[in-house]
Chain A
Amino acid sequence: MSAWKKLKQDRLAMCCLVFLSSVVLVGIFAPFFAPNNPVAVDTSLRFAGPSFQYPLGNDQLGRCVLSRLIYAIRPSVLLVLFALSITVMIGTVLGLISGYYKGRVDNVIMRLCDVMLSFPSEVITLAIIGIFGVGLQNILLACILTKWAWFTRVIRTAVMQFSEQNYVQFAKAAGCSTFHVLTHHILPMTLSEIAVIFSSSVCSLILQISGFSFLGLGMQAPTPEWGMMLNEAKDVMLSYPTLMLPPGIAVMLVSASFGFLGDSLRDAMDPKHEPAVTKRKKIRSTV
């Protein structure tokens, strides 16, 4: 059974997938979905409750909360995905080289990773913000710089494990090219590993960026971003606590969905793993 078929049977995974793809679509086509201009200030509507024109109400400057939430998908989700894809690509290439060729190359790459991993990522991020200035792109740059080493290590370990398998030995012995071996036998095996680390780091990165924006180091006002919306809501936490809910719930739902989806993907890609649903059906049919 193919991975896609298995994934389709997994209801939770499909829910997450549908939810995340709609989030991404809404983020890409934000101008069509947002009811109002996200940065338009209208002081007469400060802290107004939900209405037809402003479904989630207005914030301390009278800006539409829903529109801000929708526009914030761009930095909070899309840019994070973009930065992570770059990181995963670097990690995959280096991990493949390091795990497959071993020896000196591996040693050099691993020592580089050790150096990168020995810095706490928060410190590097702060240092880069200190050098290049405040801004989301610098946080993403810092993320790529700190995370690639970790990805490389995880992927290298997987590659090493798989390149000792007999089917790889056979392919080499029978005269397959290195490229064929890597693309047909090693990369597909590491995909499930990549799916898991990718999804788990999406969660941590969304939270991290929200965290830095919350501290005022990420996105700059007035551009909307979930962490910054939380930061702004914090100031009026006692008088208008409901203002924290939309960005908070959005961050929670998106990172939880990525987490669940990653787990389901790993299971779906394992050919030996049969989903509970088919197992039940099989038992029923044998009875």
Chain B
Amino acid sequence: MLTVRHVNKTYHNGGFFSNNRQPVLFDVSFEMKSGECLGIIGESGSGKSTLGRLIVGIEKPDRGEILFQGQNVWSREARLGHISAVFQDYSSSINPYFTVLDAISEMLKIMGQCDKKELTHMVVNLLKQVGLNAEYCNKLPHELSGGEAQRVCIARAISTGPQFLVLDEAISSLDASVQTQILNLLKELKERYQMSYLFITHDIQAVTYLCDRVLFFHNGQVIEQSSVSKLSQIKNEYSKKLISSVIPFENIKK
């Protein structure tokens, strides 16, 4: 369903006449099957968020191509209604001038749904799906807590019934108990709507909970791929280090 082929990305740094470019992604290739949930793990600065931005078409790769169902994701029409995203920082995820109703119905309106009653009905329905009630419709973003805001973002992301959702650190800035709630919500939604997730995070536990397959990312390269059930058999030194950094923590809990 999603094919990433030899993607390179560099960022311009320096002034007007400078030609210095900072490489961020180097020859990244992978594939995703429909209904699959793929986790991307790497430390900060490894380029995983940049990859997310390329996949949702916010930025263009320098070289290589990203195809979604055979179409290049850079074209808006290929994404509209099919790809959606949830970002890390919930506080700036919703336009502060929009009510929850406006925010969730935005994409529905663009998709051609304009009957007001029908829209409200759909939004209430979506809110119910993410565990919020209809009273939230007229709230403004700054009146929501972090967990609520992230739920609204998820409702907004699934409003067009996309087949593919990019979750860029979607749970990282929430506190632990809310993280579990959101993870459960995501798992539930995934089964209900048969969506595929690309789950970008640095939290290995969350990945093992939600994903089928993991990509390890280091310095802008995919260094290893493994299915979640075979995490113990990974070979690369760096991915071992990443995994082992969680284990002592788990031992203490036990």
Q: Specify the chain A residue showing the minimal Cβ separation from B57.
A: A173
CB-based contact B83/A271 at 8 Å:
no
Report how far A107 CA is from B15 CA in the complex, Å. 9
B214 on the A face (CB < 8 A): no
Q: CB-defined interface of A178-211 with B at 8 Å, one 1/0 digit per residue?
A: 0010001100110000000000000000000000
* Complex contacts, A103 vs chain B, CB 8 Å: 12
**B58-89 with Cβ < 8 A to chain A:** 58, 76-77, 79-81, 83-85, 87-89
> In the complex, what residues of A have CB within 8 A of residue B107's CB?
174, 176
The answer to whether B87 touches A166, judged by C-beta atoms less than 8 angstroms apart, is yes
Q: Which residues of chain A (189-237) have a CB below 8 Å from chain B?
A: 189
Q: Which 8 interchain pairs have the tightest Cβ spacing?
A: A175-B80, A173-B56, A175-B79, A166-B93, A173-B85, A166-B87, A167-B95, A165-B92
Interface residue tally on B, bucketed by range: 35 or more
Q: Which of A166, A169, A272 has the largest number of chain B CB atoms within 10 A?
A: A166
Give how many A residues have a beta carbon under 8 Å from the other chain's beta carbons.
Answer: 21
A residues within 8 A CB of B96?
A: 271-272
Q: Is the pair B94, A271 in contact by a Cβ cutoff of 8 Å?
A: no
Task: Find out whether the CB atom of A180 lies under 8 angstroms from the CB atom of B110.
Answer: yes
A-contact bits for B87-108, CB 8 A (1 contact / 0 none): 1110011111110000100110
Known contacts: A166-B89, A170-B156. The answer to whether A176 contacts B110 by CB under 8 A is: yes
Q: What is the minimal beta-carbon distance from B155 to any residue of chain A, in angstroms?
A: 12
Interface string of B125-151 (1 = CB under 8 A from A): 000000000000000101000000000
The reply on A171 being an interface residue by CB < 8 A is: yes
Which single member of A167, A174, A272 contacts B93 (CB below 8 Å)? A167
Other-chain residue from A167, A176, A180, A184 in contact with B92 (beta carbon distance below 8 A): A167
Instruction: Say yes or no: B87 contacts A169, CB within 8 Å.
Output: yes
> Contacts A271-B140, A271-B142 known; A174 to B94 CB distance under 8 Å?
no
The answer to whether the Cβ of B221 comes within 8 Å of any Cβ in the partner chain is no
- Residue-wise, chain B 229-249 has the 8 Å CB interface mask toward A (1 for contact) of 000000000000000000000
Q: Nearest Cβ distance between residue B22 and chain A, in whole angstroms?
A: 15
